């Protein structure tokens, strides 16, 4: 089930939202990554969570409004959209899950609406900037990440086809359980790709997805956070999830062994169990 929710009028911006689970209890608002992906790669295993789950496509992504022009895409605007979306949907208090880049956008949402967000899950994401050096010597990562980097640097494709090709090339780095890779590639076939954010990404003109002074502000806020991560994540180091719990007194981390960046694919049941346990607390 899904619907379009108009959140801005000038210019008009509507977000397409899918809804899972029973429409009662504390809702879980889910922020996908990418950008230029849609929310669909997160539907499983969230469809087994047994909670009211709201999965919007960010502006410029999936079935949400596109064509906003060079100045129409920023992570600040994407986070603001989600706070307005919560208003439009009549959400009083809600839980929040952000995945990958969406985990950084979720930090912005939490800081913008701290009285409304009950619990926050930062999945396969980071509080801090990441460089290759933060992973230490890891030859396998160097080899696997090269495939996606080559697509961005050398592919003749453009638009959504380019984004899709990069995601497919990066799949072996993102999914570390070999038996799960075919299902993940099939899942990528069903993603509604866009390329609205690509020009800013390639030009280096996008703002940071992380909120300004985010770690310090989150520490002062003292909100409950779960960092849910795969030990073999090649995009954001697992050590950063554990480091976050040392920096933030109200944070905890669950790091799943044998899982990569797409930990919800590699270790679906363990990922879902950790999420449910955290959200089930008062």
Could you tell me which residues come within 8 angstroms of residue 125 by beta carbon, excluding any fewer than 6 positions away? 33, 98, 99, 100, 101, 102, 103, 104, 106, 227, 236
CA distances from 147 to 125, 210, 269, 275 (A): 21, 26, 29, 31
Compute the distance between CA of residue 80 and CA of residue 50 in angstroms, rounded to an integer: 28
pLDDT tens for residues 45-94? 999 999 999 999 999 999 999 999 988 999 999 999 999 999 999 999 99
pLDDT at 86: 98
Give the other-Cβ count within 10 Å of 4's Cβ: 13
Tokens standing for 255?
A: 């790091």
pLDDT, tens digit, for every residue of 182-210?
A: 999 999 999 999 999 999 999 999 999 99
Quote the tokens at residue 22: 């029973």
In this prediction, residue 117 has a pLDDT band, given cuts at 50, 70 and 90, of very high
What is 97-157 written as a DSSP string?
A: EEETHHHHHHHHHHHHSTTTEEEEEEES--SS---GGGG-S-HHHHHHHHHHHHHHHH---
Please state the domain extents for the chain.
2-138+206-279
Q: What's the chain's average pLDDT?
A: 97
pLDDT of residue 281: 96
pLDDT score for 70: 82
Closest CA to 79 of 36, 126, 31: 31
Architecture in CATH of 2-138+206-279: 3-Layer(aba) Sandwich (3.40)
User: What pLDDT sits at residue 201?
Assistant: 92
Strand segments (E) across 10-79:
12-20, 28-31, 53-56
pLDDT tens-digit map of 229-275: 999 999 999 999 999 999 999 999 999 999 999 999 999 999 999 99
DSSP 228: E
| Predicted confidence (pLDDT) per residue in 153-162, tens digit | 999 999 999 9
**Do 255 and 229 meet the contact criterion of CB atoms below 8 Å apart?**
yes
pLDDT tens digits for range 133-142: 999 999 999 9
Going by pLDDT thresholds of 50, 70 and 90, the confidence category of residue 1 is confident
**pLDDT digit string (tens) for 91-114?**
999 999 999 999 999 999 999 999
Q: What's the pLDDT score for residue 22? A: 95
Beta strands in the chain (DSSP E): 2-9, 12-20, 28-31, 53-56, 94-99, 117-123, 225-230, 251-256
Confidence grade of residue 122 (pLDDT, cut at 50, 70, 90): very high
Burial 141-175 (b: 16+ CB within 10 A, else e): beebbeebeebbeeeeeeebebbbbbbbbbbbbbb
pTM as predicted: 0.97
pLDDT at position 9 is: 93
How long, in residues, is the chain? Answer: 282
Helix axes 181-189, 159-169, angle to 10 degrees: 170
Predicted pLDDT of residue 262: 98
Task: Show Cβ contacts of residue 115 under 8 Å, excluding neighbours closer than 6 positions.
Answer: none
């Amino acid at each position: 089930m899904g619907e379009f929710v108009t959140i801005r009028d000038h210019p008009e911006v509507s977000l397409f939202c899918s809804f899972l689970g029973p429409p009662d209890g504390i809702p879980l608002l889910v922020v996908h990554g990418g950008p230029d992906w849609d929310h669909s790669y997160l539907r499983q295993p969230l469809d087994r969570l047994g909670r009211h789950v709201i999965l919007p496509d960010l502006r410029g992504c999936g079935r949400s409004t596109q064509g906003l022009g060079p100045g129409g895409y920023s992570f600040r605007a994407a986070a603001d959209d989600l706070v307005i979306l919560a208003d439009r949907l009549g959400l009083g208090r809600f839980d929040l899950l952000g995945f990958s880049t969406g985990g950084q956008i979720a930090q912005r949402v939490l800081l913008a609406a701290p009285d409304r967000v009950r619990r926050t899950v930062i999945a396969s994401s980071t509080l801090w900037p990441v460089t290759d050096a933060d992973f230490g010597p890891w030859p396998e990562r160097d080899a696997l990440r090269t495939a996606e980097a080559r697509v961005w640097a050398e592919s003749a494709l453009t638009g959504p086809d380019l984004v899709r090709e990069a995601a497919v090339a990066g799949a072996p780095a993102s999914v570390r359980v070999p038996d799960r890779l075919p299902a993940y590639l099939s899942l990528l076939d069903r993603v509604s790709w866009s390329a609205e954010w690509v020009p800013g990404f390639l030009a280096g003109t996008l703002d940071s997805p992380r909120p300004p002074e985010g770690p310090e502000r989150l520490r002062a806020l003292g909100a409950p956070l779960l960092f849910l991560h795969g030990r073999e994540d090649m995009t954001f180091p697992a050590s950063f999830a554990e480091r976050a719990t040392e920096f933030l007194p109200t944070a905890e981390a669950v790091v799943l062994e044998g899982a990569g960046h797409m930990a919800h694919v590699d270790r679906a049941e363990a990922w879902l169990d950790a999420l449910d346990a955290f959200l089930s607390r008062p």
